[in-house]
C-alpha cells in the first residue's frame, strides 16, 4: 500500500490507517482485526488513552509488539477520566501531558510513540505550555512527532503558527467539506491532514446506498451538519445515478477516494469492527483514484460547507 509522508517528518504512513476506537475489548477479535490490517498493508494505527480506559492502547501495543519497528503508532492525550471513571474532563496542562505519556507508553509496551496528538483543544488552553510539553517529550525521545486532533480553525491556526506539529486529524467527508477552507493554510505550513469520519457516520456506505436504490419505504436517515435527511437522500441518489449506475465502484470507494484526491491528505483513518470491514476499506483505497470528471461531479452535488464556529 502506498505510504505518504506526514508533514515534514520522517514518518511515512499508509494512505489508509486503522482507527482503533471501534475494535472493542474482546481481546482475540480485536487482535485479529489489527493483524489483518497489518497483513493488508496498513502500517498506521490510531488509538487514544481515552478509549476503553486505556484497554484499547494495551490491545494495540501487545498485538503490534513483534512488528513495532515497522509500524506507526499514534495515540492521543488531553481527555482525563474522572476518579470513578463515570466521565472525563479536559486537561491540557503540561504536567498532565507529561504524566499521561508514561502511562500510554506502558500500555503500548513501547519506548516511544510515533505520533502523539492533542485530543481536542480550545483557544483558551495554555497553548504555549502544551507546545512546550510536546517539545520536551520529543527531545527526551519519548515521542517522535506530535500533532493535534481538532476541527477548530482558530486552534489549528495557533498551532500552525507556533508549533512544529506535523499533522492535524480532522473530520472530512463528502458531507463535511469544511476542512477545505483551512487546507491551504496547512499546506503552506507543510502540515498534513489525517482525515476521519470519511463515511459520515455510515451515511456514505453501500448499505445505505442499497436502501436508496431499492426505494426502501422507510429509510431512517438523520440530518447531518447542514444537510436535512431529505438532502442526504438527494446526494446519495445523485451519486448513484451519476457515478454508480454501472456498479463499477462502491460507495466506500467514492467516500475514501474523495478524501485521498486532495493532496493535503496524508491518510484516511477508518474504523473497523470486523475483518471484512478492514478488507473492504483496503479495497476501496487501492481502487483507481477518482478521475477529474468524477471529482467534479462529487464537488458539484455536495455543499462546500464552511465553519461557522471557532473561526
Structural contact between residues 278 and 31, judged by C-beta atoms closer than 8 angstroms = no
Whole-angstrom distance, CA of residue 8 vs CA of residue 96: 27
Which pairing describes strands 167-171 and 192-196: parallel, antiparallel, or unpaired? parallel
pLDDT value for 218: 60
pLDDT value for 74: 98
**Which cell numbers hold the place of 248?**
463499477
CA-nearest of 226, 216, 204 to 309 is 226
**Which cell numbers hold the place of 109?**
509496551
Whole-angstrom distance, CA of residue 126 vs CA of residue 129: 5
pLDDT exceeds cutoff 80 at 247: no
- Mean pLDDT, the chain, whole residue set: 93
Q: Cα 264 vs. chain centroid, distance in angstroms?
A: 14
> Considering only 39-53, 183-197, 240-254, which range has the smallest mean pLDDT?
240-254
Q: How confident is the model at residue 54 (pLDDT cuts 50, 70, 90)?
A: confident
Helix axes 292-301, 251-260, angle to 10 degrees: 100
Contacts of 200 (CB under 8 A, 6+ apart): 173, 174, 175, 176, 224, 255
Beta strands in the chain (DSSP E): 3-5, 12-14, 16-19, 44-46, 72-77, 79-81, 88-90, 113-118, 143-149, 167-171, 192-196, 265-271
Q: How confident is the model at residue 13 (pLDDT cuts 50, 70, 90)?
A: very high
51 is catalytic: yes
pLDDT value for 100: 95
pLDDT exceeds cutoff 70 at 215: no
Q: How confident is the model at residue 52 (pLDDT cuts 50, 70, 90)?
A: confident
Whole-angstrom distance, CA of residue 106 vs CA of residue 111: 8
Selected catalytic residue, list 51, 172, 224, 227: 51
Q: How many CA atoms lie within 13 A of 305 on its CB side?
A: 18
Q: How confident is the model at residue 216 (pLDDT cuts 50, 70, 90)?
A: low
Q: If DSSP codes are grouped into helix, strand and coil, which group holds residue 311?
A: coil
Q: Give the mean pLDDT of 259-279.
A: 95
Partners of 192 in beta bridges: 167
Instruction: Output Rg (C-alpha) for the chain, integer angstroms.
Output: 19
pLDDT tens for residues 289-302? 999 999 999 999 99
Structural contact between residues 11 and 72, judged by C-beta atoms closer than 8 angstroms = yes
Q: Give the mean pLDDT of 274-295.
A: 96
Q: Could you confirm whether domain 3-199+252-288 is CATH 3.40.50.1700?
A: no
Partners of 167 in beta bridges: 147, 192
pLDDT value for 194: 98
pTM here?
0.93
> Percentage of residues in the chain with pLDDT exceeding 90?
82
User: Which sequence spans correspond to the domains of the chain?
Assistant: 3-199+252-288
pLDDT tens for residues 56-68? 999 999 999 999 9
Q: Per this entry, what is the length of the chain?
A: 311
The continuous run of DSSP H or E covering 28 comes out as: helix 27-39
Amino acid at each position: 500500500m502506498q505510504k505518504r509522508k506526514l508533514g515534514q517528518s520522517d514518518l511515512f504512513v499508509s494512505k489508509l490507517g486503522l482507527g482503533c476506537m471501534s475494535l472493542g475489548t474482546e481481546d482475540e477479535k480485536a487482535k485479529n482485526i489489527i493483524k489483518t490490517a497489518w497483513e493488508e498493508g496498513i502500517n498506521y494505527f490510531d488509538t487514544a488513552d481515552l478509549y476503553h480506559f486505556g484497554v484499547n492502547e494495551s490491545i494495540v501495543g501487545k498485538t503490534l509488539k513483534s512488528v513495532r519497528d515497522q509500524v506507526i503508532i499514534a495515540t492521543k492525550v488531553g481527555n482525563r477520566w474522572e476518579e470513578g471513571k463515570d466521565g472525563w474532563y479536559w486537561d491540557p496542562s503540561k504536567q498532565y501531558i507529561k504524566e499521561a505519556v508514561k502511562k500510554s507508553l506502558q500500555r503500548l509496551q513501547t519506548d516511544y510513540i510515533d505520533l502523539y496528538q492533542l485530543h481536542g483543544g480550545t483557544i483558551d488552553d495554555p497553548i504555549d505550555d502544551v507546545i512546550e510539553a510536546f517539545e520536551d517529550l520529543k527531545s527526551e525521545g519519548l515521542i517522535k512527532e506530535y500533532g493535534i486532533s481538532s476541527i477548530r480553525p482558530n486552534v489549528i491556526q495557533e498551532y500552525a503558527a507556533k508549533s512544529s506539529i506535523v499533522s492535524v486529524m480532522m473530520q472530512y467527508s463528502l458531507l463535511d467539506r469544511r476542512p477545505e477552507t483551512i487546507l491551504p493554510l496547512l499546506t503552506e505550513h507543510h502540515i498534513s491532514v489525517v482525515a476521519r469520519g470519511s463515511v459520515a457516520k455510515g451515511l456514505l456506505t453501500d448499505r445505505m446506498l442499497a436502501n436508496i436504490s431499492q426505494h426502501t419505504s422507510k429509510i431512517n436517515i438523520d440530518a447531518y451538519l447542514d444537510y436535512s435527511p431529505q438532502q442526504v437522500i438527494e446526494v446519495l441518489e445523485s451519486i448513484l445515478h451519476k457515478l454508480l449506475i454501472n456498479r463499477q465502484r462502491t460507495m466506500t470507494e467514492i467516500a475514501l477516494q474523495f478524501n485521498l484526491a486532495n493532496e493535503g491528505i496524508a491518510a484516511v483513518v477508518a474504523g473497523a469492527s470486523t475483518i471484512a470491514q478492514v478488507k473492504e476499506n483496503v479495497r476501496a483505497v487501492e481502487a483507481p483514484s477518482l478521475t477529474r470528471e468524477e471529482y467534479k461531479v462529487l464537488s458539484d452535488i455536495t455543499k462546500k460547507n464552511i465553519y461557522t464556529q471557532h473561526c
